[in-house]
């Protein structure tokens, strides 16, 4: 990630989109520098945003008067894996909330200083998770591993950092991967290869709308959620039974019941002092304890602590397998992760898969967009490894190619477990997901030549939006339960 004072050495391709030609020219002029090759397109929609790799990022210019409520329709949703920043002349807080719902990487108010805009664009591009995945080669992982062994580092502990969107990084990984929010992606891959073990070191709460970890916890009225509450003593008038804040009873220098207008003089005789309460300045409601509300400092979304997402942070410890992998020059072990990762840039980590699932579930709630989650287990992989070790790598690659034939660019695939693939089918109803599974089975049947090694066989669980799971975690848990049933 870019930090203050750091020079951007790489030239990035940026596409600037918008319908206001004058604003478009201003933004292009502000971004243009040795670090960026800027292209522009006058358009009113987001249809030119693509994920074919032709551009490193997109900047969408929103003119004054832009109304997010009117524009929030299915056609304006940012495509999966697209790296998009919004620049707006409109109501910044309103646009910001809408933009992060769409999956934006950043939102900037216009006009702004050109140095600030270039810094934000560079930060957005360099913090792109897809870019991190593409750069995460086996050679780079081995170089990182050797540097740890040479320096004698046995344990990688996380460090909290408020400048990063996920809130933490691993100092021991900076030399190899930069000051990035995605260190855990590399460490998780090495863990799946048996090179690290892990234990929970900390937990963060994250926004359910944008995934940001910078949350403000504030006390609010339990009745109307107003933040205008004050801590006050409450009084109980014996005669009429009225209970209210002490301020309600004050009348000049004395006390008078606001309900029956009787002057109260003697505590214990006319009235009693109850415990401290919280009084709302908007609705006058009294409560013994205030409510607690969270507000995301990134997208401004409001929630309750219970509805925020918990993010475990791990500490990683090097195993004896690390020295073997460094000496042999390859990541040890033979499972789906180690075989498929290098030659399949569209294969993502479980963390990214869960991130995309959360985004898809958000789209489903707002736009009634369907989705399906598949977990696909290769049933006989142990037999292939044990009986035909020399052919196992080619066997796995051919099975994966067959299973991937019917998938689209917008679908997200990961290695969920050592012998299990995860597939997120975006904008796909239950019937469509069932059809995909049928086609996969058909493609496997065409691999006749692999039966000499082991007949390809899979077990599939299918969960859709119709199952009404509330979180990504519960969706994946349901898929695993179905797979193991």
92-107 pLDDT, tens digit each: 888 898 888 888 889 9
Q: If you search the block for the tokens 């082991």, which residue do you land on?
A: 454
Name which of 37, 40, 39, 100 is nearest 68 in CA terms.
100
Please provide the CATH number assigned to the domain covering 334-485.
Answer: 3.30.70.270
pLDDT tens digits, 300-312: 999 999 999 888 9
Q: Which helix (H) or strand (E) holds 215?
A: strand 215-220
- Mean pLDDT over residues 348-371, rounded? 88
Report, as an integer, the average pLDDT of 132-154.
88
Say which residues have a Cβ less than 8 Å from residue 63's Cβ, sequence separation at least 6: 18, 19, 20, 23, 89, 90
Mean pLDDT of 427-437: 95
Residue 368 burial (CB count, 10 A): 9
Half-sphere exposure of 365 (CA within 13 A, CB side): 14
The helix/strand/coil state of 186 is helix
Over the stretch 367-382, which tens digit does the pLDDT of each residue have?
Answer: 889 999 999 999 988 7
Structure tokens, 422? 């995860």
Instruction: Pull the structure tokens for residue 252.
Output: 């000049």
Q: What does DSSP assign to residue 267?
A: B
Give the C-alpha separation, 275 to 282, whole Å: 21
Q: End-to-end alpha-carbon separation of the chain, Å? A: 43
Q: How many residues does the chain have?
A: 485
On average, the pLDDT of the chain sits at 85
CA distance 201 to 153: 17
pLDDT digits (tens, 9 = 90+) for 7-37: 445 688 999 998 888 999 999 999 998 889 8
* Minimum mean pLDDT range among 71-80, 356-365, 368-377: 71-80
pLDDT in tens, 162-190: 888 888 999 999 888 887 788 888 898 88
Q: Please give the Cα distance from 219 to 292 (Å, whole number).
A: 5
CA torsion, points 338, 341, 343, 344, in degrees to nearest 10? 140
> Domain spans of the chain?
12-127, 129-221+290-329, 222-289, 334-485
The DSSP line for 303-334 is E-GGGSEEEEEEEEEE-THHHHHHHHTS----
Do the Cβ atoms of 243 and 338 come closer than 8 Å?
A: no
The predicted structure's pLDDT at residue 267: 87
**Pairing status of strand 229-237 against strand 243-245:** antiparallel
- Homologous superfamily in CATH for domain 12-127: Response regulator (3.40.50.2300)
Q: Which residue has the tokens 């004072």?
A: 5
Tokens of 272: 């009693």
Local confidence band at 59 (pLDDT 50, 70, 90 cut-offs): very high
Residue range 440-480, pLDDT digits in tens: 999 999 998 998 889 999 999 999 999 988 889 899 999 99
Contact at 8 Å (CB) between 348 and 132? no
**Cα–Cα dist 5/38, whole Å:** 22
- Give pLDDT, residue 217: 96
């Amino acid at each position: 990630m870019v930090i203050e004072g750091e020079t951007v050495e790489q030239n990035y391709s940026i596409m600037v989109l918008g319908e206001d030609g004058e604003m478009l020219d201003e933004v292009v002029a502000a971004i243009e520098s040795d670090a960026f090759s800027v292209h522009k397109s006058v358009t009113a929609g987001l249809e030119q945003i693509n994920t074919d790799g032709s551009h490193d990022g997109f900047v969408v210019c929103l003119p004054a008067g832009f109304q997010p409520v009117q524009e929030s329709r299915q056609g304006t949703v940012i495509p999966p894996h697209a790296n998009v920043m919004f620049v707006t002349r409109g109501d910044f807080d309103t646009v910001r909330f809408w933009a992060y719902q769409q999956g934006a990487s950043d939102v900037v108010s216009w006009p702004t200083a050109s140095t600030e805009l270039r810094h934000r664009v560079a930060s957005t591009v360099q913090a792109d998770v897809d870019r991190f995945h593409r750069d995460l080669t086996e050679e780079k992982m081995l170089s990182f591993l050797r540097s740890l062994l040479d320096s004698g580092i046995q344990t990688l502990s996380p460090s909290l950092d408020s400048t990063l969107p996920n809130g933490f990084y691993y100092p021991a990984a900076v030399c190899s991967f930069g000051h990035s929010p995605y260190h855990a992606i590399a460490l998780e891959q090495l863990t799946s290869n048996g090179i690290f073990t892990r234990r929970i070191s900390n937990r963060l709460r994250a926004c359910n709308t944008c995934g940001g970890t910078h949350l403000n916890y504030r006390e609010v009225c339990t009745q109307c959620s107003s933040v205008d509450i004050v801590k006050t003593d409450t009084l109980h008038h014996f005669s009429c039974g009225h209970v209210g804040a002490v301020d309600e009873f004050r009348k000049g220098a004395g006390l008078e019941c606001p309900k029956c207008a009787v002057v109260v003089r003697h505590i214990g005789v006319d009235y009693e002092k109850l415990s401290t309460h919280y009084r709302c300045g908007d609705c006058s409601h009294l409560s013994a304890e205030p409510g607690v509300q969270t507000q995301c400092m990134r997208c401004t979304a409001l929630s309750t602590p219970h509805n925020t997402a918990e993010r475990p942070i791990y500490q990683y410890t090097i195993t004896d397998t690390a020295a073997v992998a460094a000496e042999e020059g390859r990541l040890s072990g033979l499972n789906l992760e180690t075989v498929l990762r290098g030659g399949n840039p569209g294969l993502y980590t479980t963390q990214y898969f869960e991130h995309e699932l959360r985004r898809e579930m958000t789209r489903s709630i707002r736009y009634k967009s369907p989705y399906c989650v598949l977990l696909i287990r290769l049933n006989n992989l142990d037999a292939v490894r044990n009986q035909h070790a020399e052919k196992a790598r080619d066997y796995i690659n051919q099975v994966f190619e067959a299973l991937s034939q019917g998938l689209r660019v917008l679908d997200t695939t990961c290695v969920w477990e050592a012998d299990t693939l995860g597939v997120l089918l975006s904008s796909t109803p239950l019937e469509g997901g069932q059809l995909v599974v049928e086609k996969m089975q058909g493609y496997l049947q065409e691999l006749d030549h692999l039966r000499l090694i082991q007949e390809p066989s899979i077990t599939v669980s299918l969960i859709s939006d119709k199952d009404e799971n509330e979180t990504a975690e519960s969706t994946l848990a349901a898929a695993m339960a179905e797979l193991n049933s």
